[in-house]
Amino acid sequence: MGCFECCIKCLGGVPYASLVATILCFSGVALFCGCGHVALAGTVAILEQHFSTNTSDHALLSEVIQLVQYVIYGIASFFFLYGIILLAEGFYTTSAVKELHGEFKTTACGRCISGMFVFLTYVLGVAWLGVFGFSAVPVFMFYNIWSTCEVIRSPQTNGTAGVEQICVDIRQYGIIPWNAFPGKICGSALENICNTNEFYVSYHLFIVACAGAGATVIALIHFLMILSSNWAYLKDASKMQACQDIKAKEEQELQDIQSRSKEQLNSYT
Give residue-wise pLDDT tens across range 169-187: 888 888 888 888 888 888 8
Pair 198, 46: CB distance under 8 Å: yes
Per-residue pLDDT averaged across 95-120, rounded? 66
Residue 135 lies in a domain: yes
Confidence of residue 232 (pLDDT cuts 50, 70, 90): confident
Residue 248 lies in a domain: no
Q: What percent of the chain has pLDDT over 90?
A: 39
Residue 2 lies in a domain: no
Residue 252 lies in a domain: no
The total number of structural domains in the chain stands at 1
What pLDDT is stored for residue 11 in this prediction?
Answer: 67
Residue 269 lies in a domain: no
Domain span holding position 79:
19-233
Q: How far is CA 197 from CA 65, 66, 99, 183, 186, in A?
A: 20, 21, 56, 20, 19
Listed in sequence order, the residues at least 6 apart from 233 whose beta carbon sits closer than 8 Å to its beta carbon are 93, 95
18-89-131 Cα angle (round to 5)? 60
Burial of 179 (0-12, 13-18, 19+ CB in 10 A): exposed
Residue 12 lies in a domain: no
Residue 246 lies in a domain: no
The alpha carbon of residue 123 and the mean position of all alpha carbons in its chain are separated, in whole angstroms, by 11
Instruction: Give me the torsion for CA of 206, 208, 209, 212, rounded to 10°.
Output: 160
pLDDT for 265 beyond 70: no
Phi-psi region of 209 (alpha: psi -120 to 50; beta: other; left: phi over 0): alpha
What pLDDT is stored for residue 115 in this prediction?
Answer: 82
What pLDDT is stored for residue 240 in this prediction?
Answer: 63
Q: Percent helix, strand, coil in the chain (nearest 5)?
A: 85, 5, 15
- How far, in Å, CA of 53 to CA of 194, rounded? 18
Confidence of residue 96 (pLDDT cuts 50, 70, 90): very low
Residue 190 lies in a domain: yes
pLDDT for 100 beyond 50: no
Picking from 55-69, 94-108, 120-134, 162-176, which range would have the lowest pLDDT averaged per residue? Answer: 94-108
> pTM to 2 decimals?
0.80
Per-residue pLDDT averaged across 202-214, rounded? 96
Per-residue pLDDT averaged across 139-147, rounded? 93
